[in-house]
Amino acid sequence: MTTIPHLKTERLTLRAPAPSDFGLYRDFYADAEGSGNYGGPLRSDQAYQKLCADLGHWHLQGFGKWIMERREDNQAIGGCGIVHPIGWPSHELTWWLMPEHRGHGYAAEASRAVIRFACQTLRWPNVETHMRDENAAARRLAEGLGGKVVRRETFPDGVTRDVFVLPEPEPESAP
Amino acid sequence: MSTFTIPTLETERLILRAPCAGDMEHEYRFYASKASHFVGGPISAEQTWRTIASVIGHWMLRGFGLWALEEKATGTYQGRTGLWHPEGWPEREIGWTLMEHGQGKGYATEAALKAREYAYTKLGWKTAISLIDPANEGSINVAKRLSATPDGTFKHERFGHMHVWRHPGPEAA
């Protein structure tokens, strides 16, 4: 049995990926520019496989990616979570947003909830993330979360990246 | 909170259960070898891990999927068999992929019969196909043993040209 908890923040619900999210994945990965930092663009059958794999990750690792749903209108706008693809040296906090929903602080808000979950429920001491040097938006977000670069590492894809450690955020008043 | 459960089935010689991390070593070896060339291999361990993760996720999205086959006598993982319908597939399929050590023992046939019975009796399927590479003689023999018959062709973006084998319906199976 696989259990995926749901998390709530001020503006978002983080919930398990569902069959109805296929359209979101398909549209996100069809856009070469928006999905360029995420292995895109992908054909629709590949986007479906991605959705399947994101769910299966929970079963194999006990953690994974949630769908970010906006609470005011229940609209799914992206995803956030922790992944650790096998063969990679470390886990990674990751987030993605449909381009039209970027710039509202959703990724940071979801990330804080995910880091808190990792520290409090999974009992990890902290959470790591990494990004390509040219991904300035991701770097800003990691720094905004209080992240500090702890090492520079060459990953199995041959790309050398800064690795950030992200501390447990201050408690938030319950939403 | 969302919970997902994969049912466990049993045949004379096999347990059909949810795939687990312990199966991965066998899958890495299989997908690293030429034996995987009918099912998209050889691929890296990382890609293999993602493939198996997506096999599990398929269960959670569709409510059916591929079971891991465990040999009752030894507890060893033999491969995967079950019900498959990802995006891009022409219709619902009964599929099987056996590790090298699981081949030649009739396990694919034994498990596919159980999976087909599950599809017809529990899920109410009225028909099912199997997609098989025309050069994959072992798999074609399994289809024949299951009384499936040729029913045209299908070209997949990634897996290429495949033959469609149609299974007998619920009344005939």
Tell me the pLDDT tens digit for each residue of A40-84: 999 999 999 999 999 999 999 999 999 999 999 999 999 999 999
| Location of structure tokens 């990679």 | A88
Cis check: omega of the bond before A171, within 30 degrees of 0: no
Q: Least CB-CB distance to B53: which of A5, A45, A53?
A: A53
pLDDT of residue A173: 57
pLDDT at A86: 84
Q: Which residues, including other chains, have CB under 8 Å from residue B61's CB and lie 6 or more apart?
A: A18, A19, A22, A51, A52, A55
Chain B contact set for A54 (CB, 8 A): 53, 57
Q: With an 8 Å Cβ cutoff, is A55 touching chain B?
A: yes
φ, ψ dihedrals at B156, nearest 5°: -100, 145
Query: A156 at the B interface (CB within 8 A)?
Result: yes
Taking the CA of residue A138 and the nearest CA in chain B, the distance in Å comes to 24
User: Could B54 and A52 be called an inter-chain contact, meaning their C-beta atoms sit closer than 8 Å?
Assistant: yes
In chain A, where the domains are located: 7-166
Structure ipTM: 0.94
Nearest CA in chain A to B87: A45
pTM > 0.90:
yes
Residue of A3, A20, A59 to mutate for B, most B C-beta atoms under 10 A: A59
Domain A7-166 classification at class level: alpha beta
The CATH homologous superfamily to which domain B9-166 belongs is: Gcn5-related N-acetyltransferase (GNAT) (3.40.630.30)
A4 vs B: CB within 8 A? yes
The answer to whether the CB of B31 falls within 8 A of the CB of B42 is yes
Q: Name the minimum distance, in Å, from the CA of B61 to any CA of chain A.
A: 5
Sheet holding B66-71, edge to edge: B9-10, B14-17, B66-71, B77-84, B93-98, B129-132, B160-166, B149-156
- Contact list in A for residue B20 (CB cut-off 8 A) is 60
Domain boundaries, chain B: 9-166
Question: Which 3 state secondary structure label does DSSP give B97?
Answer: strand
Task: Suggest the residue from A6, A38, A52 to mutate for an interface test with chain B (most B CBs closer than 10 A).
Answer: A52
- State residue A30's pLDDT score: 97
Q: A86 by DSSP, 3-state: which?
A: coil
Using the Cβ of A15 and the Cβ atoms of chain B, whether some distance falls under 8 Å is answered with yes
Residues counted in chain B: 173
Cα–Cα dist A3/B46, whole Å: 24
- Residue-by-residue pLDDT tens, chain B, 173 positions: 899 999 999 999 999 999 999 999 999 999 999 999 999 899 999 999 999 999 999 999 999 999 999 999 999 999 999 999 999 999 999 999 999 999 999 999 999 999 999 999 999 999 999 999 999 999 999 999 999 999 999 998 888 899 999 999 999 87
Residue B4, chain A, CB below 8 Å: the answer is yes
Is A86's CB within 8 Å of B1's CB?
no
* Site of tokens 């396990």: B107
Q: What is the mean pLDDT of each run of 10 residues along chain A (175 residues)?
A: 95 98 98 92 96 96 97 98 90 96 97 97 96 94 97 93 95 60
Q: Measured between CB atoms, does A23 come within 8 Å of chain B?
A: no
Q: Please identify among residues 106-125 of chain B the ones whose CB lies closer than 8 Å to any CB of chain A.
A: none
For residue B46, give the nearest of A6, A60, A87 by CB distance.
Answer: A87
Nearest to A118 by CA among A166, A152, A153, A79: A166
